[in-house]
A and B are shown apart, each in its own frame.
Chain A
């Protein structure tokens, strides 16, 4: 049962899973997300999982806060609700033209760029959530020594496919979009396919992701 549910305005439930941001808390969030989604509760519009919250918005014409809270209060997660983690290996090219902020990171972190890349490519990441822009995965956790703040002034345009780092997270820009993350490379893989009616995003919360360094030649000749 979700212990802490309050209202966010008059048409959403705000479920708080605690202050800590870690895989354990997030896995709980994702389990509830998947279970609630499967129930197709009448009136529920959207369910948004994040690190430690789950926001359920609804149509006030069909249901209200107290009624929906009762339904959600009765939902229990069972052992069979285990999430299946898919695994992905994302190819990344780190040529100078793609690694827009690697020198800035070298300076801030005081680590040579080859060491930054070594750490980054060794890591297996966990997808905490997707969103902000369509299909963008928020992946954690970077080692302490690789954690940097976002750019002081965000870029107006971050190229599609860019791999960004901020704090303990890595993300992938699924579209060209404004953004302030430190860009260290670019993937030729399409992370979000908006021509797909079903499951347009490649990576989902709970999935595991590693990155693999590729040459510029491979990047240019990449076919999915």
Chain B
């Protein structure tokens, strides 16, 4: 029997299937989801010879420890991640942005992400997944997506239905950098805040709170005073929106965010900074820096060109 699968020895903290996410469903309350760090997601797929919307496993902090059963397969891990591959009695030190071959009974232990939150595991094959609304992306809070909308659990099996037999030997030199200044465009309720509050937002440092997940990132710092109204009529949200809740602290909407919300929007993180934003670990200190729409568009073009150029080097 030609059955290929991973056995999960340890599931990790929040390991889920992700792809590019799902569109056109905000109006019924279903968020975008998808890989948090788009660049690292794309690179993982390219390193294993996949197309750009191929399901991968995303993990946060501690990744899964997997035992492989089946015919040889290529894998690649992207992000800032420590991992090992156990081949019988041999221990191979894992390197990110490089393809490896797993053979029957090899173990892949994704120990942890280092100075970042998310990492990606791609395989030169196709996970056997049930898609929901044209995407495997898993939103564990709403139980949407593959694996019944749940994160991976220990002792579970991950079946692989197809393996690409063209083995690759790919490698890329790339180092993730950490962002300190998050660039934002002023939000639609920027004027709800006191002059002092606006100054705090752009001049003071904020600390990423432990209460951060795929839905949102909470920040701690000096309170931002609202002088107008702490609630607005509920309206649509997009990822990157920074709302200030009644307690005066900012919360940034991330990929699994609720589709509508009723807190004033002080700013929106520019698209070029989103991948690096999501990688900020709790305790990181950040500042917000204002840019205008034109600059944000140019910065995104540059960011996208850089991503494309990295992909083309593989």
Q: Footprint of B on A, CB under 8 Å?
A: 6-12, 14, 21, 33, 37, 45-55, 57, 60-61, 64-65, 129-136, 138, 174-175, 192, 194, 197, 200-201, 204-205
Q: Is the CB of B269 within 8 A of A9?
A: yes
Whether B265 contacts A61 by the Cβ 8 Å rule is: no
A50 near B235 with CB under 8 A, answer: yes
Contact B23 A10 (CB under 8 A): no
8 A-B pairs within 8 Å (CB atoms) are namely: A9-B238, A11-B271, A46-B24, A50-B236, A50-B260, A55-B236, A132-B29, A192-B28
A133 and B300 alpha carbons, distance in the complex (Å): 30
- Assuming the contacts A9-B238, A10-B297, A175-B142, asked whether A130 and B265 have C-beta atoms less than 8 A apart, the reply is no
Is residue B254 contacting chain A, with contact meaning CB distance below 8 A? no
Asked whether any CB of chain A lies closer than 8 Å to the CB of B49, the reply is no
Contact of B248 with A by CB under 8 A: no
Interchain CB contact under 8 A, B234 and A8:
no
Contact with A along B294-308 (1 / 0, CB 8 A): 001100100010000
Interface size class of B (residues with CB under 8 A): 35 or more
Whether B25 sits at the interface, judged by CB under 8 Å, is yes
How would residues 242 to 278 of chain B score, 1 for a CB under 8 Å from any chain A CB and 0 otherwise? Answer: 0000000000000000111100010011110000000
The answer for the CA separation of A54 and B233 in the assembled complex, in Å, is 12
Report whether A64 and B297 are in contact in the complex, using a CB–CB cutoff of 8 Å: yes
Known A10-B271, A14-B188, A46-B23; judge A51-B234 contact (CB<8 A).
yes
- Shortest Cβ distance from residue B77 to the other chain A in the assembled complex, whole angstroms: 26
Bound form: Cα–Cα A11–B300 in Å: 10
Contact (Cβ within 8 A) A134 B304: no
- Neighbouring B residues of A6 by C-beta, 8 Å: 188
Complex interface: chain B residues within 8 A of A138 (CB): 234
Q: Closest approach, in angstroms, between the C-beta of A39 and any C-beta of chain B?
A: 13
Bound together, the chains give a CA A132 to CA B29 distance in angstroms of: 5
A132 touches B297 (CB 8 A): no
A8-B187, A33-B27, A46-B26 known, 5 other contacts, Cβ within 8 Å: A48-B237, A50-B235, A132-B29, A134-B144, A201-B29
Given the complex, which residues of A lie within 8 Å of B296, measured CB to CB?
Answer: 9-10
Beta-carbon contact of A60 and B297 below 8 Å? yes
Map CB proximity to A onto B27-38 as digits: 1 under 8 Å, 0 otherwise: 111101000000
Complex Cα gap A111–B260 (Å): 32
